[in-house]
Structure 1
Amino acid sequence: MKLGLTLLPTVGPREEPADRYYASVLEMCEAADALGLSHVRAVEHYFHEWGGYSPDPVVFLTAVAARTSRIRLVTGAVVPAFQHPVKLAAALSLLDNLSGGRLDAGFGRAFLPSEFEAFGVPMSESRARMEEGVAAVERLWRDEGFRWEGTFHRFGPLPRLLPPPCQRPAPPVFVAATVAPESFRWAGERGYHLMVIPVVAGHERLAGLLEVYRAAWEDAGHPRTPRMYVSYHCYVAEDATEARQRAEEHFEHYKVKQVDAYEAWRGLTSDQYPGYELMAESARGTRFADLLAAGTTIAGDVAEVTDALRHVEKLFPEAEASLHVRFGDVGHAEAMRTVTLLGNEVLPRLAPAREAVR
């Protein structure tokens, strides 16, 4: 199993100035590249201290590209509903070129009402805007001289997009999917790869959703093998007890920021997001011990974390684990310790298991 990093900041200016946060995270990405981790994945969120330090994954990953040489750069995810497809296609293509063809282009719907309100976009249009936006970006990467007549955007015919992507004919496309069968089916039909979060759906429910995805993929006759990023909170220390205790403390801080963001749903409902109005209360009642027991978060010493990741590999053989190592109030030193132990200790232990599977 390949291992990489997910970056969803849970910090605000009172705790750490943004410039200092970015400097420390870029140092962590450099270390991940040197240690053999496979990818860095950055989200798009606004305003809240849950994610708000990451409003533009393309800009951030461009800085990562300049300081690394091998690691894949994953927009996990950019939101087509908030951008014109010409601008988004061009920005992603530029990142692909600056990184020498290391972009995995991930797209998502977004789900926080406060973000839709800020951009003046109705939440009722989120799925349609996502599907149209991704399709338009793909056409812009591959074709020229066409007229786009969408529901939300109309443009062209245009000259060829410059620069064209470094990866030909286009970067791999990933979509974020959580619990909606429609999202998994659409991704499979279109031949898009996946980004999933087991802590949201749980392993058992996710397994059923992946069956929907794979069936749609096979029915559409896509020749290549699907890929997937699967995300977990992860904390590694030399001492197992310390790892679990510290991870739980940091998770409680993470939960405060998460609940604050989810409170944007207070008093609202949407048929596009059934049940999301209950997310804040659900997150408030989440217990770290339950997540650890369910295997939807990972914390422990090197041996325990290795075993947990081997279990993930059995559940999702096609997946790369995308590990959220700087969550809550995890500081730079603790995050660097986790990354270093993952690279120096966990990856070598996983390698024999991968060889045995082959």
Structure 2
Amino acid sequence: MKQILMSLCVGGILMGACTGKSEQKTSVTHEADTLLMLVGSYAKADQEGVKVYRFNQETGDAVQASALSGIENPSYLVPASDGTHVYSVGETEKGFTANALALDTLTASLSLMNSQSTGGASPCYITVSPDGKFVLTANYMGANITVFPRLANGSLGEGHVIAFQGKGADKERQDQPHLHCVYFTPDGKLLLANDLGTDRIHAFPVKQSSGTQGTDLLDEAAAFDIELAPGSGPRHTCFDKQGKHAYLLTELSGEVVVFSYDGKTLTQQQVIKADTVGAKGSADIHLSPDGKFLYASNRLKADGVAIFKVSPADGTLTKVGYQLTGIHPRNFTITPNGKYLLVACRDTNEIQVFARDAETGLLQDTGKTIHTDKPVCLQWVMK
């Protein structure tokens, strides 16, 4: 039977279990509605930094299935499309790593396969190339990104580092390049790297090569930059299902920048505020499965999620609401059926489960909170 896997890269040490005695005893019995939820975190290597939960997307109930130690600060995770491997950063300034994990979907357990140095401090984002042959990290304090070949057994080969230079307008937050996100355009033609430190998106054409070395993926000689407003601090991006529009969240200016995409570059269409209190802590951004609403999380002040309606005509946004959350919401995810939005609140040590109104886009707290230390990142994977 087709199995859906969900990975919540929740940057915090996920040490707790689900809220309440009745919730801890809940059994997820409807297989078609059961998701595997991987929870990554900030944790010492001897702590259980990654946990696996079974989550029912009809009822919103969660049950812990397993846990994994051995990685320091596995704050961001991404499952591969084969459903049997997961890749995690080790977000540290010393000993920084990319890690390959094997996932057993029958037992919902993980095992560490191997680790490779990123060659850049504080890797905070990791992704897999569309063809499944490469894994890439964005290294926040390293001022670089790293391209790893993905070996036949799913483990990682030695990485190739691409470095950047420059600084931005904010002397405290933009003293050097700070790579925060690496991702591919839906057509697979470009690799984009959001540089919070220099207010740029670095764009690399993807080679039409069958090579297996880290240097074989990107055409570095043809790279170009997409410039953003000074002091904006680009962080995370999502694309619509049609691949025609990209939505970029800026951490420092707290804005959503709407772009059109033509297969060659991004062209700015609209800028709209997500953070209206000047907190300089915007974090994550996702579209609802039906593409009708867009959500953006904000931290440091008025912690919560901004809600926007998407125009079906041109992809532009209208703000329709704001949902307060626990403290320091980082990444979040929406269930494939669109029924729930789960928010990782790092400083209140919880994953909040919100019911989502498909007609208005608004959120309501269900009270089905998953208690776990310092959650950070959320993603979905399908098998």
Higher relative contact order, chain-length normalized (CA < 8 Å, sep 6+): 1
TM-score past 0.5 threshold = no
**TM-score, with normalisation over the residues of structure 2?**
0.29
| Structure with the higher fraction of residues in helix conformation | 1
**TM-score, with normalisation over the residues of structure 1?**
0.30
| Structure with the higher fraction of residues in strand conformation | 2
